Structure 1
Amino acid sequence: MDNSSGCRSLYQLSLGAVAEQFLIFKKHINFLPENVLFDLYYQLYKNRKLCLLGMELSDLNTLLRMLKVTNKRIHLHKSFQALMDHGTKIGNELAISYNLCYLGNKDNFSAHETIINLGLRLGKFLNDAGWYFESEQVLLACKDLCVSGPQNPENWCRTLDCCYKLLHAQTAYCMFNEATKTCDLALQTIEKLNNTEYTNINHAAFYAELGVLYFSRSEYDKAYKWSVEALNQLKPSLSPHIIINVLRQTAKSCIMMREYKKAGLLIKHAVCLARELFDRQDPKYSDVLIDYGFYLLNSDSIPNSVIVYKFALDIRKEIFGKYNLQVAMAHEDLAYALYVQEYNSGKFSLASHHVNKAIEIMEKLLPSEHLLLASAKRVKALILEEIALDNSQTPGSDQNLFTKSETLHLSALQLSQTAFGDMNVQTAKHYGNLGRLYQSMNRFDEAEKMHLRAIRIKEDILGSYDYEVGLSIGHLASLYNFHMQRYEEAERLYQRSIDISLKLFGKTYSGLEYDYRGLLHVYSKLEDHDKYVEFMDRLSEWKDLRDEHANSEDPLFEEKPSQPISDVIQTFLTIK
């Protein structure tokens, strides 16, 4: 054994000994350097001395010291989550402590800068840890101190930083009304800085967060506008975290604007950059993978999206354990990808497992009527409907599952209407989901009303040639074709759905199969032999193209160095 390994061994033995007799040594540990104190607290975590650890980390000053040890943040996340799982409620305790600190020093102007900086660091940590409600409580108090401070560029910059972090917490927790107020304050602050011609600040991070807010509210044109504005503000000197976040959000906005080449460029670069900068078990890397999975799912690379979502979930489970919102949302994303992948096979057990885990976690952590919970229940409803259809030979079982699915869909619709109103893409999706369910339940008139409402809302918001419009048109065509014997109308709808799919995705798109098979049924009923043969040939051609497409897909993770961000932006601007 060399000296260095011997020193490490002795160091670990010393940590273990002090951790075992922690109360004896407690009065001396504050004299330890931050990195040594950090290792001692992590040893308490490993020894499962969580009550002692909770008492230490619930102290604001102690936690602030631990936040300075930036190269071991994953260990701090693990320790913190273990305390939350243990029932310590350390996040709430820290939020209360910070608010007491804020109230106690509200009139002590000399202490404001210190308290603001503490709030910014604590709020960011809670955001990264997935405890958004607690983060918001800290950052609201921090914001009040910023607003009451001196009217100068330095304080306005702190105000903007606070707004950026506060907006992240509020958006992630679906507090959209509060988020709007935060946006207004931030934009007013930017205007003040512009009026004083202060230029020593970059707004890329905040503009990207604005994009996240509008994306979450399904206002995709505004999300795209702010995301591209953030992209244009990127500079090589910015934090890699900011650059990656901007790339991720702009890619997601491009997907919803159906600009898949641009989305692919940005998200693949974000993955390359994250692989270079972060440990493969870093939560930031899992964030990038979640958005990469979203790109793959929406660009018709469904098996690959399942692989990437599973990888991201495994990272989050390793860091955040069982009961964390970030873990729950990764379970939901994977469940939906598995549902899409197994749509034809009917093997939904794995998808059911993951959506049930998502709901279990959310029910433990969220109010019963929370919008995040509604999203997970929507996925469960879709899965239950397909299981019911597969079990239709078993008397009574399908009706019970249909009823559960309807209850979940109606609940999700109501929550969406409350949060966004009727003229919203998410609300339209819920109408469409109900349309499909009522079709499965043989309630055809109700199904038609739901599909027509979904199409009308989507067309008004997204235009006539959007993917979502094509999806709803295809569902209505299926209703007319297989259940209402309205074959001529079904034919027109299928043709329109095919036109949209070909325009957006090309001849290899997986969804074309349903429209081609639907038209074969239509032409069989109409006894149009020539059209039947034509679409038999098109279906055969589609199968051959799908096989070629499957063999020609790019590797999931390209082992190549990331490009300079200026080159990425330039390429983005040249893609038509």
Structure 2
Amino acid sequence: MCMQTNMAAASLLEWMPESLYDSAIRALVSEYSRFRKELRFLPDNIQFDIYYKLYTQGRLCQLGIEFCELDIFSKILRANDKRHKLHHCFQALIDHGVKAHEVLSDAYCGLCESVSMSTREETDKAIALGYSLGGFFSEAGWYIAAEKVLVACEQICAKYDDVPHWLKALECCTRLLHVRNANCKYNKSEETYKLATEYIQKLRLLGVSVNLSSIHGELSALLFAKSHYDEAFKMCVESLCEITPCMPVKAIVDVLRQASKVCVVKREFKKAEMLIKHAVYLTREHFGTRHPKYADALLDYGFYLLNVDSITQSVIVYQTALNIRIAVFSGCNIHVAIAHEDLAYSSYVHQYSSGKFYDAHTHAEKAIDIITQILPEDHLLLASCKRVKALILEEIAIDSHNKETESKLLHEAQELHLSSLNLAKKAFGEINVQTAKHYGNLGRLYQSMHRFKEAEEMHIKAIEIKEKLLGEEDYEVALSVGHLASLYNYDMNLYGEAEQLYLRSIAIGKKLFGAGYSGLEYDYRGLIKLYNSLGDFSKVVEFHQILTNWNHLREKIEGPKDVLEDLAKHKPETTQEVVRNFLQGLRKEKED
């Protein structure tokens, strides 16, 4: 009897009656065509809930008609607490074939033309809408639409020659610089920064104080993309110095993320860790763990983990970021593609020794598929995706044990690498770290294809460019040096040259990452093979022992199983404390 009573109670608990509000929304949606015009006078949040109900019922044509009207969409944008739901709806419309981003950006440009002769109040409303609309398109990854909106917005700001509008124009330039950086329009980014400096100079001449944290952060991102790492580091330091408590949390997070990435490539790992962990904390606390901003921070945390040799943990973090972006954007979205690519590469590195590349290959394919659907075929974002896929195909080919399959996959990888190289050279020129990486990748591929002289040429090119830009003891240089050593050792019988290169690669790896660095395994095994070939068996025994000691050390290196859970347990510092500690570290280094 007692059991029956408990089951009945449980069934009652499982059923929850629909709230009066939900019932009202459902009733209005059922009579949508009848009340369509009247719905526009409802408060923003209620109006959004009605449109979201249209989305959940699959009535995308009706939703598209509403969202393609600028007046309606401008109201919907004000429902800030429902942003992730808006991304769902918007992406679904685009996947359905409704080019809402193009219609709305064109409508906004038309509005800007009409308000050029209007009152100051109407102009300022149009500027505020430009911030909101351009910001949404940027968040959603529709950069061309965002760029169009922000360019038009800056132009109407420029019609007024006064301080308030110079400040608004500078804000437009900052946002526009972010969009153009994200869309790899680096020449346009330089134009935007030049325009921003003109507004800054005007304001300074009048003694107007301007916070330049965000604009310096975006300039750092531009310099970083062009592999000017020293200049990017200087800019990120200036950006951090200007962080204030009154800045929006999103802006602070973006500055921290950018500074962390620069610190990673500068091999300032302690600084990078401090900055990115704080960025993850801020996004989790202010936006929650389902927000796209949290996914942004996780991708940069994954980048840090991958570069400090925490490969397994980086895969976990990248997977979490991808899951969030799929949940928020779904569909054919650039943010989802980038997360797929990052996970593809980290999975490739993680599974390199096992040869199990199914997951890595799947993510690389998805990234390329999405990007080719929404961007031009010569877009720079494809260079990185194609590079990752080519690396994976090369390893699959080597392990295929079928000459025909191997040849086919290697030639496909060659086409991808050459395409990536051409895109990089077009964007950055010959003397650039990205270009050098592509030369190095071709060198490894040509080695697999038994084209040894061409492989040597590619590796030497990569080393020369990296040394010129990064110095002789950088991680990237060590990678290329190790690859050239492998070519000399395994295929060209140039043992003396190979030995010196291996020892150099080992020295750089140990200096940067310590004696337990995972990449040392390949150099140690290479040296064992080399000394076997030379008949120097005392050296063979010596490096077998070194490899054994390395294996023992690797077994002891064990980080937390869940880095995100571990991160959540630590008591966080304030942003001011993080920045102060960062700057104190810099001062201490200069004094030393």
TM range (shorter): over 0.9
Instruction: Find the counterpart in structure 1 of residue 340 from structure 2.
Output: 331
Letter in 1 for 2:404: G
TM superposition shift of 1:76: 0.9
Given that 1:304 and 1:556 are in contact with CA atoms closer than 8 Å, whether structure 2 keeps it comes out as: no
Within the candidate set 431, 435, 438, 1:427 is matched to 435
Task: Compute the displacement of 1:553 (Å).
Answer: 7.8
1:527 counterpart residue number: 535
SS at match of 1:274: helix
Which residue of 110, 113, 128 maps to 2:139? Answer: 128
Report the Cα offset of residue 147 of structure 1.
Answer: 2.2
Instruction: Report the equivalent of 1:117.
Output: 128
Q: Are 2:234 and 1:247 equivalent residues in the alignment? A: no
* Identity of matched residues, %: 48
Deviations 1:259-316 (A, max 9, x none): 0010011111111222211121110111011111111111100011100111100111
Amino acid at match of 1:164: T
CA contact (8 A) 1:236 1:564 kept: no
Q: Deviations for 1:363-417, whole angstroms, at most 9, x for unmatched residues?
A: 11010111111211111111111110001x2131101111100001001101111
1:68-83 matched pairs, under 5 angstroms: 68-83=78-93
Aligned residue in 2 for 1:543: 551
CA–CA distance in 2 between the matches of 1:493 and 1:10? Answer: 74
Structure 2 residue aligned with 1:307: 316
Residue 449 (structure 1) aligns with: 457
Structure 2 unaligned spans of 5+: 1-11
Moved more, 95-104 or 334-343: 95-104
Q: Offset at 1:551?
A: 5.3
TM-score w.r.t. the length of structure 2 is: 0.94
Hey, what's the Cα distance between the residues in 2 that align with 1:174 and 1:245?
Answer: 17
Number of aligned residue pairs: give it: 570
Q: What do the CA deviations read for 1:223-258 (whole angstroms, capped 9, x no partner)?
A: 212111111111222211111111111000000101
Equivalent position to 1:223, from 232, 235, 254: 232
How many Å separate the matches in 1 of 2:560 and 2:100? 50
Q: Which moves more between the two structures, 535-544 or 103-112?
A: 103-112
Pair 1:167-2:152 in alignment: no
Please, which runs of 5 or more residues in structure 1 have no aligned partner? none
Partner of 2:94: 84
| TM superposition shift of 1:573 | 2.5
Q: Which amino acid aligns with 1:363?
A: T
Amino acid at match of 2:165: N
Moved more, 558-567 or 435-444: 558-567
Quote the Cα distance in structure 1 between the aligned partners of 2:542 and 2:379: 49
Distance in 2 (alpha carbons) for counterparts of 1:556 and 1:516: 33
For residues 491-518 of structure 1, the C-alpha deviation after alignment (integer angstroms, 9 at most, x for no partner) is 0001111111111111111001111111
- Partner residue, 2:265: 256
**Alignment-mate amino acid for residue 140 of structure 2:** A
Is 1:148 the counterpart of 2:159? The answer is: yes
> Corresponding residue for 2:508?
500
Distance 1:301 1:329 in 2: 20
For 1:475, which of 456, 477, 483 is the aligned residue? 483
Once structures 1 and 2 are overlaid, which stretch shifts more, 266-275 or 455-464? 266-275
Q: Residue 19 of structure 2 aligns to a residue in which SS? A: helix
Aligned match of 1:271: 280
Partner of 1:22: 32
Q: Per-residue deviation at 1:21?
A: 1.6
Check 1:466–1:476 CA distance in 2 against 1; reply closer, same or farther (3 A cut). Answer: same
- Matched with 2:111 is 101
Determine if the alignment matches structure 1 residue 340 to structure 2 residue 320.
Answer: no
Quickly say closer, same or farther: Cα 1:565–1:551, change in 2 above 3 A: closer
Asked if the contact 1:15/1:40 (under 8 Å) is kept, the reply is yes
Contact in 2 for aligned 1:272/1:561 (Cα 8 Å): no
Compute the displacement of 1:109 (Å).
5.3
Q: What amino acid maps onto 1:33 in structure 2?
A: P
Say if 2:313 and 2:563, in contact at 8 Å, map to a contact too: no
Describe the shift of the 1:370–1:551 C-alpha distance in structure 2 as closer, same or farther (beyond 3 A): closer
Partner-residue secondary structure (3-state), 1:345: coil
Distance in 2 of aligned mates of 1:495 and 1:195: 57
Q: Which secondary structure state, in structure 2, belongs to the residue aligned with residue 507 of structure 1?
A: coil
Supply the AA of the counterpart residue of 2:419: S
Per-residue deviation at 1:108? 3.0
2:50 alignment partner in structure 1: 40
8 Å Cα contact 2:524/2:547 also seen in 1: yes
Structure 2 equivalent of residue 177 of structure 1: 187
Is 1:388 matched with 2:415?
no
- Whether the 8 Å contact between 1:428 and 1:453 is mirrored in structure 2 is yes
Name the counterpart of 1:568: 578
Tell me the equivalent position of 1:361. Answer: 370
User: What amino acid is aligned across from residue 449 of structure 1 in structure 2?
Assistant: E
- Structure 2 residue 208 is matched with structure 1 residue 198: yes
8 Å CA contact 2:313, 2:562 repeated in 1 = no
Change (3 A) 1:105 1:225: same
